[in-house]
Amino acid sequence: MSCQMSTREKVADCIRNMDSAMLSMPMDISRIALMARSRDTNADELARFLSHHGSLSARVLKIANSSCFGRSGDIDSLSSAIIQTGFREIVAIALCSGVFTMLSSEGKCSGVEQDRIWKHNIGAGLAANLAAKSVRAPVDGFSMLTGLLHDIGKIVFHLCLPDEYQEVLQCHQADLAPLHSLERERLGIDHGEVGYQLLMRWNFPDSVCMPIRYHHDLIKCPFEYFRQTMILHLADYLALRACIGCSGNINPEISTGAMTTMGLSETRMDELTEKLGDMRSQVDHFLEALS
Ligand SMILES: [Fe+2]
Ligand SMILES: [Fe+2]
């Protein structure tokens, strides 16, 4: 028990130290996240803020112009990107890009490992839009953002506890016990909770943090966030089933209750998996633009 507590504390320390080690980037991330929380932020304010951050705005434009959003390079300014792609979508791209840059600069997790997890995250981001459309839920940048960031807790594990996390992954491969349960058992905390703590620290909206926290623990999810969390749970499963990237989870589980509640049959899930599989090149373009 005391061993679990100390490992949990080690992760908490790592999260606390992450932003003090890289002062400027979290401030940018937090500022955009605060804009995302506010009802008063308008498109001009967001465009003005991004225009002061050259490399970030270049990446945002590149992604907004990519096939992921059905474009082929016709957007030439941040203002047009916000009008044509959507305010929340541009916020989502900017936040994902900021988090990607920050975690990549840590350099303790192998590039290959990070790329695999990011591909899985991007796949889940695109799948969240597919799943939301399929159940006639609102499709906006925030549902995509939950997918794009849902497994960042695993990257934090790779950065903070590389040896301990390798052991957890090996154990998962050996006995196929659910990865999130093994994380809780061996590290005292799972990747959903770690991602939640990190994003809350950076002021991300609750509507993004809460689904990430509960995406493997639907039963504990507060009612207010339940629908969004179910969509993320389905999106995660679709990305794993379509074999887009790899998050370390080799035994994906789906809540049949979530499928029933959302009115999704096995046949519909097969169709969505196939559709997502056809979006593989869009995932590659997204990751290329982030890098
Ligand atoms: Fe996960
Ligand atoms: Fe996942």
Domain ranges of the chain: 2-290
Q: What is the mean pLDDT of residues 183-188?
A: 92
Say what the pLDDT of residue 23 is.
42
Query: How many residues make up the chain in this entry?
Result: 291
Q: What is the mean pLDDT of residues 217-225?
A: 95
CATH superfamily, domain at 2-290: Hypothetical protein af1432 (1.10.3210.10)
Closest listed ligand to the CA of 124: 2
Q: What is the pLDDT of residues 83-139, one digit of tens each?
A: 999 999 999 999 999 899 888 866 555 667 889 999 999 999 999 999 999 988 888
Q: What is the pTM of this model?
A: 0.92
Say what the pLDDT of residue 1 is.
45
Closest listed ligand to the CA of 180: 1
Ligand 1 centre to CA of 263 (Å) is: 22
CA-to-CA distance for 206 and 148, rounded, in angstroms?
Answer: 15
CA-to-CA distance for 290 and 191, rounded, in angstroms?
Answer: 22
Ligand 2 centre to CA of 37 (Å) is: 25
Residue 140 has pLDDT above 50, yes or no: yes
Confidence of residue 61 (pLDDT cuts 50, 70, 90): very high
Residue 64 tokens read as: 């907004």
User: Alpha carbon 77 to chain centroid distance?
Assistant: 26
Say what the pLDDT of residue 26 is.
67
Closest listed ligand to the CA of 181: 1
Q: What is the DSSP letter of 132?
A: H
CA-to-CA distance for 224 and 206, rounded, in angstroms?
Answer: 10
Helices marked H in 176-279: 179-187, 191-201, 206-214, 226-241, 256-262, 266-277
CA-to-CA distance for 122 and 258, rounded, in angstroms?
Answer: 22
Ligand 1 centre to CA of 32 (Å) is: 24
Confidence of residue 12 (pLDDT cuts 50, 70, 90): confident
